[in-house]
Structure 1
Amino acid sequence: MPFPFRAVLFDLDGTLIDSAHGIAGAVNETLAELGHARVEPAVVLEWIGEGARILLHRALRHAGADLPDGPGFDRTFAMLMRHYAHSLPQQARAYPGAEDALRGLRARGVKVALCTNKPERFIAPLLEALGWRELFDGIVGGDTLPEGKPAALPLRHLADGFGVPVHACAMVGDSRTDAEAAHAAGMPLVLVDYGYHRDFDVRNADARAVIDDLRRLLPQEAGD
């Protein structure tokens, strides 16, 4: 059967890379600098998936010190971003099969995109650390466009850039944010059964498939 997608859009954290350890380190360095107690990485994992600003709000709320959006929050966010930048080498941990899937799709003529809520300025150095700079035909970060996931805009922007209808693309992710973005865009959804689900039930999310290894995305060719 021919591969049904002309383009595949990938989430990053929790889908292609297991970045939680590095992100947890950045959050804990920020909390410590503010005079708050550090938290277990498993706790931080529950806060990941909707962008760095929401991550910080959750961390501050947990510490009993949340701030409204404004100058005070922006200063604290800049502190998190400083620690976040230092954590990128620890974030660059690809899941087994991720690179094979990216390279395999491209070798078969499928457009490959990165669609993440990670701030754009951290994407290039992270891809450099992974050796993945040339593996994406399009990249959208959390602050590339006026809206990030779960809005449909990032997905539609990438599909439009490829000249591919949304129904001929797939969004591959691990979270409710990815699922809501795919549904809002009218794009087929594929979910992984690992990653950062929080309380999200991937088995009941109206996904085309739930997979345990990204290599399962590769088109099966005659003789495979």
Structure 2
Amino acid sequence: MMVQPKKFTHFIFDLDGTLIDTEQSVLATWQTTLRQFVPHKQFSLEELRVVLGITTKEALKKLGVDVGESFEDQWNVHYQKVAHTICFFPGVEDMLQALKQRGYTLGIVSSRSRQEYRDYFQGFGLDSLCSAVVLKEDTQKHKPDAQPLLKYLELAKADANQCIYIGDMTTDLECAKNAGLSSGLVTWDRPNVKNSLADFIFTSPSDILNI
């Protein structure tokens, strides 16, 4: 018997590296801030890629560095100097508008804090497009744990079978799997990225409109 494809009604997105091009600004900020707190160790931008898509606490654990409580405040001070460089990836804004016009429900699930979201992402108009935005403070556990997406399902009163979570990191795909959602991997920022967990691979924002 032929299996019928799922009919998605909710398209949920990660933020950094998926909708918004922040990678270079984030990595440069990590490099600058770590130089301030652990001057005896130099981190290359490639070494710092492990921090992408996770909370600051988890990132510091992965890097194996011990810093004080003021690290996050200093990180934000440095990030403010480069935040003006972030922007939508080409084609993303048109894709979001098209999904909205077609009657789909949109959402955001990100590891960013609410203060960071207000400071750096408010100007992108995502609140007017999305039914729910789930950020770091909204759950006790974070990606790849299922909690952030389960929180979205609760807020949006959505059925997991009708939702797809789209991101650029393995943690996004694992989060979707753990929450029982379909997943999509975007590769427009890093075309060589592969992951067997992804139900869909999107090489451009317009690909999302075709499912």
The normalised TM-score by structure 1 is: 0.80
Q: Which letter maps to 2:36?
A: E
Partner of 2:168: 174
Match of 1:186 among 180, 187, 197: 180
Partner of 1:14: 17
- Pick closer, same or farther for the CA change 1:34–1:57 going to 2, 3 Å: same
- Pick closer, same or farther for the CA change 1:160–1:154 going to 2, 3 Å: same
User: Bigger shift: 34-43 or 107-116?
Assistant: 34-43
Q: Distance in 2 between matches of 1:175 and 1:31?
A: 23
- Pick closer, same or farther for the CA change 1:219–1:196 going to 2, 3 Å: closer
Alignment of 1:1-224 (within 5 A): 4-34=7-37, 36=39, 39-59=43-63, 61=64, 66-67=65-66, 73-90=68-85, 92-195=86-189, 201-202=194-195, 204-205=196-197, 207-218=198-209
Deviations along 1:12-47, one digit per CA (max 9) or x if unpaired, are: 111112211111222122123236265443333343
Q: Which letter maps to 1:116?
A: S
Q: CA deviation at 1:190?
A: 1.1
Q: Distance in 2 between matches of 1:138 and 1:181?
A: 17
| Aligned-residue CA RMSD (Å) | 2.7
Kindly indicate whether the alpha-carbon contact (under 8 Å) linking 2:6 and 2:162 is maintained by their aligned counterparts in 1: no
Residue segments in structure 2 that go unaligned for 5+ positions in a row = none
Q: Which letter maps to 1:27?
A: W
The normalised TM-score by structure 2 is: 0.84
Kindly indicate whether the alpha-carbon contact (under 8 Å) linking 1:46 and 1:196 is maintained by their aligned counterparts in 2: no
Kindly indicate whether the alpha-carbon contact (under 8 Å) linking 2:17 and 2:168 is maintained by their aligned counterparts in 1: yes
Q: CA deviation at 1:138?
A: 0.9
Q: CA deviation at 1:195?
A: 4.2
Give SS of 2:130's match.
coil
Q: Distance in 2 between matches of 1:104 and 1:41?
A: 35
Identity of aligned residues (%): 22
Q: CA deviation at 1:114?
A: 0.7
User: Bigger shift: 110-119 or 38-47?
Assistant: 38-47
Kindly indicate whether the alpha-carbon contact (under 8 Å) linking 1:52 and 1:119 is maintained by their aligned counterparts in 2: no
Q: CA deviation at 1:3?
A: 8.1
